[in-house]
Structures are given as structure tokens and as C-alpha cells.
Amino acid sequence: MAGQYDVIIIGSGPGGYVSAIRCSQLGLKTLCIEKCGNEGKPILGGTCLNVGCIPSKALLDTSSKLIEMEKLSSHGIDAGEISVDISTMQSRKQAVVKSLTQGVEGLFKLNKVDFLNGKAFIKTKNEIIVETSDGSKDSYTAKNIIVATGSSPIELNGIGDERKNIITSKEALELEEVPANIAIIGAGAIGLEIGSIWNRLGSNVVLLEALNEFLPQADKQISKQSLRILKNQGLDIKLGAKVLNAESFNNKVKVIYSCDSVEHEIIVDKLISAVGRKPFTHSLFAEDLNLEINSEGCVVVDELCCTSIPNIYAIGDVIGGQMLAHKASEEAVMVSENIHKQASSKVDYNLIPSVIYTHPEIAWVGLSEEDASKKGFDLSTGSFPFSINGRALASGDTEGFVKTIVDNKNDKIIGVHILGSNASELLQQAVVAMRMNSSAEDLSRTIFSHPSLSEALHESILSAKGKAIHLNNRKKK
């Protein structure tokens, strides 16, 4: 046996590395195995840090700054001719990624977490075989195993050209020049963020969304106004557009799709598949292990993320649900503390914030008005536009609004939805309030600094209670 551990974690993404650190903090001898690496050394951080969340936000920030520069004339600032060096932009992105992945490695060393590069195979409930880059195999044993292998992009059957012109979101974040024309299959969070990056940098971008509804998981008012704003920015979003075929030719891609039963053809430089992600479980479990996996390929777990085998746990994208880094991290802490038998509350899946990092940002937590109505809540809603918020007007960033949903039965806040600049940060105030079980009255009597974007959250709560100061109230109380 190469080694014996209290806990072995497979995967070093936001679920894997957090669980590894927390387990070690609790005094458990811990090993984290990561299949991605160079020269036998693992590259830590998973999809999020290396090819997903972090690199996309770095590129979004760069492209957003370009748009800001172009708008400076309204502030009386002449920025002159503006250009972007794509190579430098990509180098900066990689520097950000490297800083964070090395940071995880430093945290592992600080917390005495063992880690290695290799492909893991769970042979029995306590034994893992690890194949390293040189082809050698070693056996490791553990009292507990945490599967945090994440997910991989869904690829459309029959569409592909070895990552040249038909690519996934990973390659879309690595382009070294701005394509003249891009088509993206899927107008969810990934498609919208990638589309925003390259649209700002000069590409003509069309998004082909098979669903007839835009962002169906968001509140309808939010999704409706988001669609209008993003289209005005130049994103050509086609709903009910089903891709029938795509073929590469002469360094271009011919895409055929149907919309309203009519076939259309477009020629683009790059076709990007952003139709979602699927749990990664390939060649991970021995067949006779009999670990339960559902029809969607997700590892089946209970409310404590325990699989059908008592000492094997699974967290993050591999168990499905909301495929979000912060969800995986919270599950990681819960599982680690439960393994240690330390009291730990369950993850509250009703309070997981969702964010799409377009500009303006789209963020929400809790129930939409439509979902709350379907569930039979006696509800009140309030909203406040950034167009009459002092701080937003001063900065010239006035698109969007804040919407809050209140349960009239107990005055609890059951949903908050924000479309606007810094929506991801503003939403967190609502998440904290909801987590602390604050009433709408509590938040309405909280003092918000002036001028601030946060005042829009305050006024939306006041609006829901019929007490808005800077807005006409639909009802009086």
C-alpha cells in the first residue's frame, strides 16, 4: 500500500480543495488527488480556477474596461484611440489563474494536506488505485472517500472538428485573436458571458438558444429586461433556435438551425458549444462497487451528500443540482465536519445565490415571483430602478432594477432579484439577511449609506411594504 489516510478526496476544485483543507484542519490525515497536471505535479483548483469561473471573469473585466473607456467622453475625458492587445489580455488572465492555483497549493502545504497528480479509480469502498503520468499504479486506502470530480462540457453528437473552429467554452477563453463572427449554442450563463467578452472585443455574436424562453430560471421581469439590454449591446439572441448541423470548411463553420419550423444557415469563424455541463464519473468506479448513479449521470446522495455506500461522499457538480463553485464549497465543509462528527448544519439549498456576470450583472436568490405564486404564497413584491438611484446616476450606470418578494404571512423575504452593476455584491446583502431570518420590516428599518447602490435594495423592500420614499407606492400602509 502506498499510503493510508482518514480521508481521500478525488478532485481539487472548489469542492475538493475546500474539503481537503477543512478535513486536515479537523485533524484528519488527508490526501487530495488531481488528474490534471504537468510533469507529475498536479494543477490545483479544478475547472473553476483554471478554465472556468476565474479566467472568464478576468476576460470579462478586461473587455468591460474597454467599453468603459469608450464611454468616457460623457465624463469629459478624451481617451483617444483605444486598442486591445489580445496576447497581453490572455497573459494577464493566466497570471491571475496561476496566482490562485499556486495559492491553493500554498494552503495545502500550510494545512499539511498531501496531494498528488494522477487518475483515481475507486476499486473498493476503502481502496483507490492511482495511475500516475508515467503509467505506474499505486494503491491508497482511506476510511472515507470524497468524490469531487466536477463536470465537463456537454458536446453535441456529430458536431466537432478536433477543437479547431468548433470549440467548447474552455477553448473560447483561450482564443488569441478576435473572430469576426461567432455563433454560440446556448444562451445560459456560460454562453452569455463568453458572448459578452467577444462581442465587446469586436466580434459579431449570435446565440442560438433552443428554449423559447430566455433565462427561464430567473424572475420573468429580470429575464425580459436582461434580454432587451443584451440585445441592445449587440448580442443577437435567437430563441427557439435548434442547431441541426454544423460543418467546418475553409477555416469557417457552416451552421444550420431551425427557428419556427424554418431552416436557416449562417457562416461563422467559430462555433462555441455552451449547452451546459455533465457530471464527470468516467472510469471512476469499479462496476462491482454498486455505487448508485442516476439516469442523468449524477452520483446519487442523501441530504448530507453521502452516497449509497456509507463512507463514500460526493459533492459539487458530480451530484448535479446547481453547478456552482460556492455550492460545492459549502457541501465540502458540511461533509468534512460530518465525517469528523462535528456538529454541522445542512446546506440550505434555498439560499444559494445565482449570478450571471454580464454587464449589467444578473443575480438572484430564493424564489421568483412566478415560483412563489405557484407555491401558493400570499406575497407582496417591490422594485426600485437604478435609473433614479443617486449613486448609479453619478456613475452613469443606470440600467436595471432590484426586485424583492415578501411572504405576507410572516413578513419574510423569500426572493431577491437584481439586474444591475455590481448585482453580485448587492445580492449578498440579501443572502445574509435571509440567512439570518430577517423580516422585511427588519431590512426596511436598517440604515443604508447614501449615496450607494445598496439603497435600491432598501427602497425595493420599502416598496414591497408600501412605504417607498423615492417611488410611487402601489399600496399604502
Burial letters for 51-60: b for 16+ Cβ neighbours within 10 Å, e otherwise?
bbbbbbbbbb
Neighbours of 220 (CB within 10 A): 15
> Catalytic: which of 75, 417, 450, 470?
450
Separation between Cα atoms, residue 336 and residue 6, nearest integer Å = 11
Q: Exposed, middle or buried, 400 (CB in 10 Å: 0-12/13-18/19+)? A: buried
Helix, strand, coil: what percent of the chain each, to 5?
A: 35, 30, 40
Closest among 235, 188, 236 to 211, alpha carbons compared: 188
Residues near 384 by Cβ (< 8 Å), separated by ≥ 6?
Answer: 401, 402, 456, 457, 459, 460, 463, 468, 470, 471
449: three-class secondary structure by DSSP: coil
Nearest alpha carbon to residue 293 among 305, 283, 281: 281
Counting Cα atoms < 13 Å in the Cβ hemisphere of 224 gives 3
A 10 A CB-CB count for 185 gives 24
Return left, alpha or beta for 343; rule: phi > 0 is left, psi -120 to 50 is alpha, else beta: beta
Q: Is 345 buried (19+), middle (13-18) or exposed (0-12) by CB count in 10 A? A: exposed
- Give me the helix-helix angle, 16-25 and 325-339, nearest 10°: 30
Q: What is the C-alpha to C-alpha distance for residues 332 and 449, in angstroms, rounded to an integer?
A: 35
Q: Are 300 and 307 in contact (CB under 8 A)?
A: yes
Q: In this structure, are strands 151-153 and 166-168 parallel, antiparallel, or unpaired? A: unpaired
In this structure, are residues 319 and 279 in contact, taking their beta carbons and an 8 Å threshold? yes
**Annotation says 450 is catalytic:** yes
Q: DSSP letters of 200-258?
A: HTT-EEEEEESSSSSSTTS-HHHHHHHHHHHHHTT-EEEETEEEEEEEEETTEEEEEEE
Residue 286 and residue 256: Cα distance in Å, rounded? 41
**What amino acid positions are annotated as catalytic residues?**
450
